Chain A
C-alpha cells in the first residue's frame, strides 16, 4: 500500500505556488467552448414560454398558430401545462418551440395562445402575520437547550418559558432586535441549458452543469433509457453557485425534442427565465431577544425565525441559529412560508449566510448597547464557539484587525465624526464550514515517452480545478504543470462527485494524488533496478528520478518512463467520501471585516475596505484560492447592498428579472479588498479543504454591522438599499 501524503512546505516545488491557471488563456481569448457555445450541425434553437402569473390554473393552451410559423419545426408542451393543471410560480415553463433560428422560435412562441384562471398569489415572505392569515405557514422546527432542567413534575414548555424569562431578566444587557435577509437569485451569466443530440439511440448532452458525473443517470432516468446511452459533456461552465446539479425538466425536453425531430437542439433559458426559475436563495427573518453578562458574553438566546424557499416550502434551517456562537441557553423556533416563487436552489453555503446575517447582527447590536468595541464583544463570545475553532478565530481576528487598522479606525456605534452627511463605520463577522472531500476517481496514464494524462469526471466551476489537478500531478512526478494533461468535464471519465459544498478540491486532490503516487511507486521500482539503488531512496524532482542521498545518481523522467516498455502505465485511484485521509480534511474558520461610508442624506452606502482572513488547510494554488475569496466577498457586497428580487404582490411577477434592473455589484462598487490566506503549519498539515462556500458567508453580516456602527442604528433587512437606510433613519 502506498502511503499517501503531501510534501512538506519547503520541499514543494509546484504545490503552494502562485501559478497561472492552465486554462486562463483559452478562456480570456474566447476560445473556451461553453455549453452555450456548442453549435452542432443542423441544430434547432429552442425557446420557451413561461407562465405569466404567479399562481393560476391553465384553462387552455393552443399551439396551432405557433406550429405554422415558418421555420418552426417542433412545439413541445410540458405535462404540467395541460388544462386544469395548477401553476404555482411565475416563469414556470409551459411550452417549448424549436425552430431553424432563434428568431423564428421566438416568433412561434408569440403565437401560442394561453388562457389561465388567476388564483390567489402570496409573495410577502417578510410578513409573517399575513402569511399566517393566508394559511401559508408551516412549522419549520426548533430546539431548546437550558442549563437548568425541568423537574419531573414541571410542564416542559412552561418551564422553558419561565427559565428564558428569568435568564433574560438576570442579564446585565438585553438586546431585542429584528433582522432579515431577502431572497436573491443565482443569476448565472451562462443560463441553465443544454445543446443535445440523439444519434443512433444514444444521447450526447452538452450541459451547463456542476455535476458531470451525476447528470447522465438523471437524463437516462427521465428519458427511460439506461445510463450507458447517455454522455454528458461540460468543458466549461458559466457560473453555477449551487443551482446547476440537474438537467432540469427543460434539459429533458431538449433531449425529447431531439429524439422527436432527429436533430440536435440548443435550449438555453432566456435571461429573465434564468433569474425567475433557475435560482432562488431562501429569505430569512428573525425576532431575537438575547441576554448577556457584564462582559458581553451571551448567556441566553430566544428567537423566532421565518422565511421562504418558494412554492414548495422550506426556509433557513433553525439548526444554524444563532450562528457559530451559541450560548448554553437558547430557544429557537422556525416557521416556513410557502410563497408563489420558484423553488429554492442551493446557494454557496446553504443556510449559513442567512444565519450569520440573522444572528451576528444581534451580537453587534449588543456591542452597540454596551458602548463597547464590537471586536471585544466578538472576542468575548468566542467561548461560545461550537466548532472548537475559538483559538483560530482569535488569531484570525488579530490578523484581520491589523490589516483593517481596526483600532485606529474604531469609534463607538453612531459616535464617529461626520464629513458633511457622510459617516463611516466598521463591522465584522465570522463563519465556519465543512468542505470535506467528495467522492472521486481518477484514471492516470503515464506513457513510456514520459507523457502524463489523467481522466476524471469532475468539472471546473471557475475555481481552477484543472489547474489544481495539474499541480498535484506535476508535484508528484517532479514535473512542470505544462508537462501533464488533465482531462475533466465528461461523464465518460471515471466518476467524480458534484461540485457543491466546497467538496471539489478535496475530491480531485485525493484521486489525483493517490493515482500519481501509486504510479510513482511502480516507476521507482523500475528506476531503482536500473540505478541499482533501493526504491525507497528515490525522489522525483526537477524532471528527474534521483537518489535522495546521491542526486548524481539519476534518470531523466523520460528515461525512467521508457523502462515501462511498450505500454503505458495505468493506475486508477478512488476516494470514498468520509474516509479519514492525510490528504484532505474538513472544518474551517474565517473572519471578515468591513469598513463602509454611509451618506445620511441619500442613504447610499460605499465600500471603503474589506478584509477576509480564511483557513482552508493546505493551499494548492494561492492565486486561484485568493480569487475564490475575492469573488465570495464581491458576491457578498452585491447581496448586502444591491440584490433585490422585487415581486409584484398582486400577480407574483418578478418585475426586475433583467440585469439592467436586478442590481449586481459592478467594478466600481467594491472598494479595496484584502485577502489573507491563513495557513500556519497547524492548518497546512490537515490537508486540503474546500473554500468555495466559507468566505461567501460573512460579508452580509459584516457589512450590516459596519453600517450599524456608522449610523448608530440598525438597518434591519438586507439588502441595505438607500431607501431602507433612509427609512431606518426616519424611524430612529
Chain B
C-alpha cells in the first residue's frame, strides 16, 4: 500500500508528536515533584493535540477511510514513521530533559518554517503549535541549565543524558526524496536546513550549563522515517495500543 507523499509527511510529523507524548505521559506520578508531573503531562498533551491534527489529516489525504484512532492504535511498528530520538526510553530525568531540549529545539525551528507551508492544514497546525513548542523548549532549557550548572551529581547525569541521546540527533535532520518532492512544492520543510540554527541554540545552552557537546559519538543507521525502529518501540506500542486493541471501539 502506497500512501500519497503528503499523507506520509503528515504521518511522520504526527508520529514524532504522538510517540513523544506517550513518553512524557510515562512521567506522570514519577517526576521529581507533583508540579513537574503536571508540567510534563501538559507538554505531552500539547504534542497529543498536534498528533491528532496530523494523523487525522494523514487519514483524510490518504482517503482510505482511516481515522486518527485507526492510525494511532491499529498500525504495527513497521508502519510508524517517527525518528528514534522520541521513542528512546525515559531513563532518568536528565535523559528525558536532554531529549526535550534536543527535540523541541528541532520541532520549534520546523514549525516556525512550516507556518509558511503552501498546505493550509500544515501551516495552520504549525502556527498554533509554535507557541506551545516555544514553551517546551524553554522548559527543557531551564532544566538543562539547572542540572548542568548544579551539583556534581546533577552535572554528571545531565552530561550522561546528552551522551546517551546525541547519537540520535543526526537522523532528525535527515531528508529524503519524499520530503524533497514536497519541499519543491512549497509544502514541506527541508529538515537538513534546520541544523545550523539548532546547533547555535543548543550550543548556547550547553555552554551556559557548563556542559560539553558530545563529539565523535557513533551514529546508528536510523530508519525511523522508513518504519525501522529501536527495540523499545515495540514495548511502547504494546502499552499505548493494548486497550484499544483489547476493546475495539470502546469509548467513555
**Do A and B originate from a single complex?**
no
